Amino acid sequence: MRPSSHSLPHLPAFLERINTAAKKRVHTIQDYFTLAWNALRFIFARPFYAGDLVQQMDAIGVQSLGLVILTGFFTGAVLALQASVQLRTFGATIYIGRLVAGSVILELGPVLAGLMVAARVGSGIAAQLGSMKVTEQIDALNTLGTDPIKKLVTPRVLATLIMLPILTIINDAVGIFGGNVVAAVLLDVVPTPLYWRTVWEQIAAGGFSLRVIPNDFIQGLIKPLVFGGIISITACYFGLGTTGGTEGVGTSTTRTVVTASILILIVDYFLTQILLSVLGQ
C-alpha cells in the first residue's frame, strides 16, 4: 500500500517496463514465501483452530481417498502391463514386482498422487478462498478480529501436510497391488508370492537408514510432504489474491492447478537430486 517515495533516476521507457515487470515478479515470489512462512509458523501460534483443522483433514484427505485409490490402482496395473512387454526381451519378467514397486514408491506414487490432489484440493481451496475474498468475507474476518491466515490458511496447509503422505502411502500400496493383479492374475507371468518377494527385494535394495527405515520410503514420504506444502500454499496464495469478481475466482482456480502441477514436477527433479545425494546414492 505504501508506494516507494524515493526518487530514482529515470530509465528509458523499455527498461522501465522490464524493471516494473521484474519487480512485480520478485514481489510475487516474496509474497508467496511470506505466506508460506506465516502459514507454517502459525501452526504453533494461538488461537488454534482445531475444529477447522479436522474439517479440512476430512475434506482434503478422506474425500480424496476414492480418487487416490483409483489412480493408484490403474497406475500400477498399466506399469505391470508395459513392464511385462519390456522385460520379456531380457527374459526378466519375474522381476516385474521390482519394477512396479521401484517406480511407484519413488516417483509415480508421490508425483501422480500429488498431481491428482493438486487438481482436486488445489482448485477447491482456491475457489473457496477466492469466493470469500470477492464477497469481502476475508475483510469481515479481519474486521471481527480474526487473522485470516490463522483461521483459513494454516488449517488447510497443515491438513494437506498430514494427509498427502497418508494418501501417497495408500496410493503406493494400491498401485503395487494393481501390479500384482495384472502380473500374477491377468497375465500370469509371475506367481503372486514371488511378486511380493521381488517387491520386498526392491525396497531392501535401496538401503536402510537408522537400520530399519528403507531409503526408498524416506524419498517416497518426503516428496508428498513437500508437494503438499506446494499445493496448499499455492492454492491459498492465489485464492486470497483473487480480484475481479466471479471471473477472478475462475482465473485463480485455473492458475492454482497449473502452477501447482508445474511446481510439483520441477521440484520433484531437484528434490530427487538432493535426496539421492543425502541418502548416499
Partner 1 sequence: MADQPRDESLAPGGARDAPDAEAPAREPQAERRRDPAGTSDNARSPEPAQPRPRDEPMRPGQKFRAQDGDRTGRRDEDRRSGGHFRQAIREELASDRTAVRGRDANGDGVISEVIRLENVYLSFDRPILEDVSFSAHEGETIVVVGESGTGKSTTLKLILRLLVPDQGRVFIDGKDITGLSFNDALKERQKMGMVFQGAALFDSMSVFENIAYPLREHTEMTEEEIEARVREKLQFVDLDPDQVMPQLPSELSGGMKKRVGIARGMANNPEIMLYDEPTSGLDPLTTGTISRLIKKLQGELGVTSIVVSHDIRSSFFMASNIALLANRKICFFGTPEEMAASDDPYIRDFLGGL
Per rule CB under 8 A, is residue 34 in the interface with partner 1?
Answer: no
Please identify, using beta-carbon distances, which residue of 148 and 165 lies nearer to partner 1: 148
Q: Minimal distance in Å, beta carbon 116 to partner 1?
A: 25
Closest separation in Å from C-beta 127 to partner 1: 13
Near partner 1 by CB under 8 A: residue from 19, 20, 30, 135: 135
- Alpha-carbon 76 to chain mean position: 19
Name the nearest CA neighbour of 227 among 149, 150, 122, 127: 122
Is 143 an interacting residue with respect to partner 1 (CB under 8 A)? Answer: yes
Q: Compute CA 20 distance to the chain's CA centroid, rounded to the nearest angstrom.
A: 32
φ, ψ of residue 123 in degrees (nearest 5): -65, -40
Tell me if 167 sits within 8 A of 117, measured CB to CB: yes
Stretch that binds partner 1, among 1-9, 25-33, 82-90, 203-211 (CB under 8 A): 1-9
State the minimum distance, in angstroms, from the CB of residue 271 to partner 1: 33
Report the residue number, 5 or 277, with the smaller CB distance to partner 1: 5
Q: Is 145 in the site for partner 1 (CB under 8 A)?
A: yes
Contact between 2 and partner 1 per CB under 8 A: yes
Query: Taking the complex as a whole, how short is the minimal distance between the CB of residue 109 and partner 1, in angstroms?
Result: 33
Is residue 63 a contact point for partner 1 (CB under 8 A)?
no
4-33 binders of partner 1 (CB under 8 A)? 5
Does position 48 interact with partner 1 (CB under 8 A)? The reply is no
Q: How far apart are CA 99 and CA 7, in angstroms?
A: 62
Please tell me the distance from the alpha carbon of residue 205 to that of residue 199, in angstroms, as a whole number: 10
Tell me the CA distances in angstroms from 168 to 42, 122, 128, 206, 244, one per residue in order. 25, 16, 24, 19, 36
Contact 180, 196 (CB under 8 A): yes
Chain positions contacting partner 1, by CB under 8 A: 1-3, 5, 131-132, 135-137, 139-147
